[in-house]
Amino acid sequence: MSLRTLQKLCKSAIVNYVPNTRVFRRRRISITQVRKMDYPRNDFEDGGLLKPGHYSLQVGAPGPEFLKQIGGYLKVASESLRQTDRFEETLQYGCVAGGYPVREQVAQFLSRQYEQSVNSDNIFITGGASQGLINLIQHYFTHEYKIFIENPTYPVFALRITEEKLMTPVPISMQSDGMDIAELEKQLADLPDVETTARRPFRAAMYLIPTHHNPTGCCYSPEKCRHLVELARKHKLLIICDDVYNVLNYKQDGSGDPTKFEPSPQRMFAYDKPTDPGYQGNVVSNGSFAKIIAPGLRMGWYEAPKHVIQSLRTCYISNSGSGQCFYASHVVSEALKAGFIDQHVQKLRLAHK
């Protein structure tokens, strides 16, 4: 519990908190009673945003009923993991890119949901989309490099990239089917002639939310996706796609069956085909289980070109820690293998369509 939360709790409980001595002065209740009292479990509760019977449009997170449901699935998955051979090894330092069975299960899950092939060799397990995004930026770029962002875009990222001077943001207007290509091309004409190396193969970056864009809700058209991939190859850009909403598509497939949904539009990573003559590997799909399982897991993935995967194996955050959320990712792997997450996603679609 944070000091701020503890002070609030003491105030509501009519208790004095003395920071220097960490002692509670009793007025009406004992310290044992304070410990038993309810307290905010997260920042949403702390800010008064989660109230029974209310929907807060400020919170992009699952409701309590879905967390209870997924909690049951993960409990079963945890027990299943405990029964596996050498279970204790999942508590050890792990594999930099994530355990093989985890990457395999994530790839199979995405293949089912996208209705397109996803190769486990292109999967790299992360600590969630936020960590994954910043890790990519810090690995390949410095403040002097430009990053082209949509206008409007996810506000938290726009604020952080500016205030923390991670890169130099260049906003590009949005249209109904994605970023304004003509405006982008004008900005690219002034892109500094940055020397590229094997360690830093990109001259600039693009941060996009191509599927169910936040906040406009649009999806990029196939034509725009192809054009952006061509520009990325021409100008040696890294396109970072915030692909956290791709699985949550609510458009029904037209069969008349209310439980049947179309897959989301093809992700931009699939437009950057290794079989293309000019292929370089310029697109990374930065995904997360926050919206489709639970934010508290802090687990996500990259779907990335093999040269990016190889380079990320050397970055500090992955190399020093021997990968991210190694134990939790194996629990999720068991849940994926059992089909729990596919069931859960279907329930999310039916509830929110």
pTM: 0.86
Distance of alpha carbon 287 from alpha carbon 106, whole angstroms: 11
Distance of alpha carbon 242 from alpha carbon 72, whole angstroms: 28
Query: 194-214: b or e for each residue (b if 16 or more CB lie within 10 Å)?
Result: eeeeeebbbbbbbbbbbbbbb
Query: 154-190: b or e for each residue (b if 16 or more CB lie within 10 Å)?
Result: beebbebbeeeebbebbebebbeebbebebbeeebee
Mean pLDDT of 33-57: 66
Distance of alpha carbon 97 from alpha carbon 99, whole angstroms: 7
Does the pLDDT of residue 206 top 50, yes or no? yes
Question: What's the pLDDT tens digit per position in 138-190?
Answer: 999 999 999 999 999 999 999 988 899 999 999 999 999 999 999 999 999 99
Amino acid, res. 74: L
Does the pLDDT of residue 53 top 90, yes or no? no
> Where do the structural domains in the chain lie, given as residue ranges?
3-62, 75-352
Average pLDDT over the chain reads 88
The two tokens of residue 328 are 């939790």
| For the chain, percent of residues with pLDDT exceeding 90 | 74
Distance of alpha carbon 172 from alpha carbon 185, whole angstroms: 10
Quote the Cα angle for 4-59-152, to 5°.
115
Q: How many CB atoms lie within 10 A of CB 143?
A: 10
Mean pLDDT of 12-16: 34
Q: Given pLDDT bands bounded at 50, 70 and 90, which one contains residue 240? A: very high
**CB-count exposure of residue 275 (10 Å: 0-12, 13-18, 19+):** exposed
* DSSP string for 227-293: HHHHHHHHHTEEEEEE-SSTT----B-SSS-TT-BPPPPPPGGGGS-TTSTT----EEEEEESTTTT
Mean pLDDT of 63-69: 90
Q: Which DSSP state fits 313?
A: T
Q: Which residues pair with 18 in a beta bridge?
A: 23
Q: How many CB atoms lie within 10 A of CB 313?
A: 14
Q: Which CATH architecture has domain 75-352?
A: 3-Layer(aba) Sandwich (3.40)
Measured in whole angstroms, how far is the alpha carbon of residue 143 from the centre of its chain?
23
Q: Which residues pair with 303 in a beta bridge?
A: 123, 285
Output the CA–CA distances (angstroms, integers) from residue 112 to 108, 247, 286, in the order listed. Answer: 6, 10, 18
> pLDDT value at position 40?
64
Output the CA–CA distances (angstroms, integers) from residue 94 to 29, 76, 148, 157, in the order listed. Answer: 46, 22, 34, 29
> Dihedral of CA 295/298/299/305: which sign?
positive
* DSSP string for 76-87: HHHHHHHTSTTG
> pLDDT value at position 20?
36
> pLDDT value at position 63?
81
Question: What's the pLDDT tens digit per position in 242-285?
Answer: 999 999 999 999 899 999 999 989 999 999 999 999 999 999 99
Which is nearest to 218 in space by CA: 230, 207, 208? 208
27-36, 95-104, 292-301: least confident range:
27-36
Q: How many residues does the chain have?
A: 353
Is residue 279 within 8 Å of 235, Cβ to Cβ? no
